[in-house]
Amino acid sequence: MKNRRLRVLLPAVVVLIWLLGAAVGGPTFGRLEEVSSNDPASFLPASAESTEAGELQQRFSDSDAAPAVIVAESEAVISPQELGSYAELGAALGEVEGLEPPAEGAPAVAGPIPSEDGLAVQYIAFVSPDAELADVVGELRAVLDDDLPDGVTGYVTGPAGFTNDLVAAFGGIDGILLGVALGAVFVILLAVYRSVVLPFLVLLTSVFALATAILVVFGFAKLDWIQLSGQSQGILSILVIGAATDYALLLVARFREALAEHENTWDALRVAYRGSVEPILASGATVILGLLCLLFSDLNSNRSLGPIAAIGVVFSLGAALPLLPAFLLLFGRGAFWPLRPHYEPEGGHDVVSSSGRHAATTGTSAPTGLEGLKGVWARVALLVGRRHRAVWITTLLVLVAGGLGLTQLQANGVPQSALILTPSDAVDGQEALGRHFDAGSGSPVYVVAPEAEQDAALDVVTAEDGISDAALTADPAGAAVVEDGRVLISATLEYQADSAEAEDVVRDLRAALDDASPDALVGGVTAVAVDTNDTARADLVKIIPIVLGVILVVLVLLLRSVLAPVLLVASVALSNATALGVSALMFDHVFGFEGADASVPLFAFVFLVALGVDYNIFLMTRVREESLRIGTRPGILRGLGVTGGVITSAGVVLAATFAALGVIPILFLAQIAFIVAFGVLLDTVLVRSLLIPALAYDIGPRIWWPSTLGRVTSPE
């Protein structure tokens, strides 16, 4: 009686502890925006030239106000007599609460500034850093809607307008993204388990893991230990749901096996836990270590995502190993209702037992590995056994062919106007600005130069192709303002500040200033984009070898082999190249994207390699277990046959959760969603199901070199 009470009380206490954690962490979802920033400038390291220039630039201004560029575009030429009404419009805009003058005595709204073609006027408004940006931009747009005459269209663009629209695009991360991801997972789990209860238990496990992870991430961000952004928040939610569900699928599959052999639920769970805890922990450790490799990144956004996502995986492990078993103990066989697994001590089930007995025998002295197995995965294993060399060569050629598209990947950054995939007033306004004014108006290039070199620096900036005008920051008397022995030059670009042409101008300007004023620094929106892209490309070259090395070490320790881990790492690296190659073709020729963020290849690599190895870990740990019992080649076929269903289900779940990122209308997230979802399916269907088993079967026992398992003569 005492043991029975303990067996009920212990899982109930575990569930209660997690419930309390989720109850505290759940409401934190709505507060993440308090500690989140989507400003690209904050992602750069302090050593970046644009970061240093930005810090020095702040000394020349008493205000941290964000400029909003307001454009009024007319269908007909605006006459000089009509400019008076536009001056009144400027006064009305200046009355919007939340604006502040950029300097003492200056207006909060500068303008109207008529275009040379007479079809537009421009204003510059300055939004106070203490104001609610969405309220100020919304009120500015409301004034334009109310006060502009017929035939004139108004836009609010510039840094303030773009930031507002970008934040609004991220607005669905807490609700829509989570709802879509959980809905997709629930449907898949219903199809996999054909149970009403179990999908809810697995989803509760994922939600509890996410809620508690969010609580920790919020605390770390509040303490400024990590830098949270909209993209890292979205990836965290998806990763936790996908990883926790994957681990749950593996444990539940072993539990259902064990229930057929053990009448007592506790005994069945103990056997299932023993058989699944090692691959789950190894899988989680691989993902965590792979993500933590992002700490070597020089981009703050990448470096912060590493620990943020790793925290999520830690809580996914914590929920899948203590919490889900507690649910399974409380519900027992009822968790699988209405298809409860029956106790069949004499055999007859279709899977191998954990104790080593065969489900059935073929009557031969040497096991084939497929005894008692039925269904599609038994047929796949049979194909691998009979045509192993043809299977792995064909699969390899398919992957290599897909990887050829990698040459089409344009991951050199995209204009800010291409980041938002839904209609944006700021994007439309930027296009209107470019039609009638210098496209770089409102987002100037800043050059901070030593006072002694101000004339030489100004001459270089003025003479640079792509710069329409440049001037020193001056006081009311017309004298150059000097701060700490430096002057500030503001230059207007002829191109949109976020365009490739503008970035080329900044690169050429820096090269020209190296000769005329070596200590001059170039900053501004365009310089931030240049430094971000350059840093992202440098991160890719640096971090890829680190990730591969870390994962290789984990696999060597897990499989007690060298050859098998090398093949596994090589296979997922090839799968990553194929996923990127196919995605590049889709981006160019199907979706019509203008390019890709420079960080996309790195993020895709880390996720696909770390998560792709997961499925190979699930497969090869079971293969090793079976190889110790019946020999390598039969063990490969049996391992593939008994894990095929659960691993494929896990891959579909993870692909579906990452695909849910596509509901957020941000280019970066949409591209990551497609690459990872496609890559996970590719890895699940081709690499883990065909390439690795067929290649391992062809190599035979030597796959375990140099462990003793590779030298044991087995009944094959």
Measured CA angle at 265 (ends 259, 269), to 5 deg: 75
User: What gap in Å lies between CA 385 and CA 229, rounded to an integer?
Assistant: 48
CATH number at residue 217: 1.20.1640.10
Which regions of 325-405 does DSSP assign to beta strands (E)? Answer: none
Nearest residue to 165 (alpha-carbon basis) of 414, 423, 406, 363? 423
Same domain, 4 and 95: no
Query: What's phi and psi for 471, nearest 5 deg?
Result: -155, 150
Which regions of 569-712 does DSSP assign to beta strands (E)? Answer: none
Nearest residue to 431 (alpha-carbon basis) of 444, 410, 416, 446? 416
Task: Please say whether the beta carbons of 211 and 184 come within 8 A.
Answer: no
Give the pLDDT confidence of 199-237 residue by residue, as tens digits: 999 999 999 999 999 999 988 888 888 878 777 888 888
Please report whether residue 409 resides in a domain: no
Please report whether residue 404 resides in a domain: no
Select from 310, 335, 355 the last residue of a domain. 355
Q: Is residue 361 scored above 50 in pLDDT?
A: no
Same domain, 212 and 314: yes
Nearest residue to 507 (alpha-carbon basis) of 533, 471, 486, 487? 533
Task: Please say whether the beta carbons of 497 and 506 come within 8 A.
Answer: no
pLDDT top residue among 529 and 371: 529
Which range is least confidently modeled, 57-61, 311-315, 652-656? 57-61
Please report whether residue 615 resides in a domain: no
Q: Is residue 158 scored above 80 in pLDDT?
A: yes
Please report whether residue 161 resides in a domain: yes
Same domain, 128 and 203: no
Give the pLDDT confidence of 589-619 residue by residue, as tens digits: 898 888 888 888 988 888 888 777 888 888 8
Same domain, 249 and 344: yes
Please report whether residue 674 resides in a domain: no
Select from 531, 559, 593 the last residue of a domain. 531
Same domain, 236 and 104: no
CATH number at residue 134: 3.30.70.1440
Q: For the chain, how many residues are written?
A: 716
Residue range(s) defining the domain that contains residue 349: 1-35+195-355
Same domain, 206 and 321: yes
Select from 326, 355, 384 the last residue of a domain. 355
User: What gap in Å lies between CA 34 and CA 24, rounded to an integer?
Assistant: 17
CATH number at residue 456: 3.30.70
Give the pLDDT confidence of 99-152 residue by residue, as tens digits: 888 766 678 888 788 988 889 999 989 888 888 888 999 999 999 998 888 889
> Which of the four pLDDT bands, split at 50, 70 and 90, describes residue 195?
confident
Residue position matching structure tokens 């090869």: 620
- Cis bond upstream, residue 601 (ω within 30): no
Same domain, 242 and 326: yes
Same domain, 162 and 245: no
User: What gap in Å lies between CA 471 and CA 292, rounded to an integer?
Assistant: 45
**679-703: average pLDDT:** 92
> Which of the four pLDDT bands, split at 50, 70 and 90, describes residue 434?
confident
Name the DSSP class of 422: S
pTM for this prediction: 0.83
Please report whether residue 272 resides in a domain: yes
**555-564: average pLDDT:** 89
Contacts of 229 (CB under 8 A, 6+ apart): 36, 37, 38, 43, 301, 304
Please report whether residue 245 resides in a domain: yes
Please report whether residue 524 resides in a domain: yes
- What is the pLDDT at residue 317? 92
Query: What is the rounded average pLDDT for all residues in the chain?
Result: 85
CA distances from 515 to 452, 468, 510, 531, 659 (A): 14, 22, 9, 20, 49
Same domain, 218 and 324: yes
- The count of domains in the chain is 3
Identify the three-state secondary structure at position 447: strand
Same domain, 204 and 343: yes
> Which of the four pLDDT bands, split at 50, 70 and 90, describes residue 351?
very low
Same domain, 213 and 332: yes
Contacts 24+ apart (CB under 8 A), 509-513: 509/445, 509/447, 509/460, 509/461, 509/464, 509/467, 510/49, 512/460, 512/464, 513/447, 513/449, 513/457, 513/460, 513/461
E strand or H helix at 532: helix 525-559
Same domain, 345 and 213: yes
**526-554: average pLDDT:** 89
Query: What's phi and psi for 156, nearest 5 deg?
Result: -115, 115
- Cis bond upstream, residue 112 (ω within 30): yes
User: What gap in Å lies between CA 359 and CA 263, rounded to an integer?
Assistant: 17
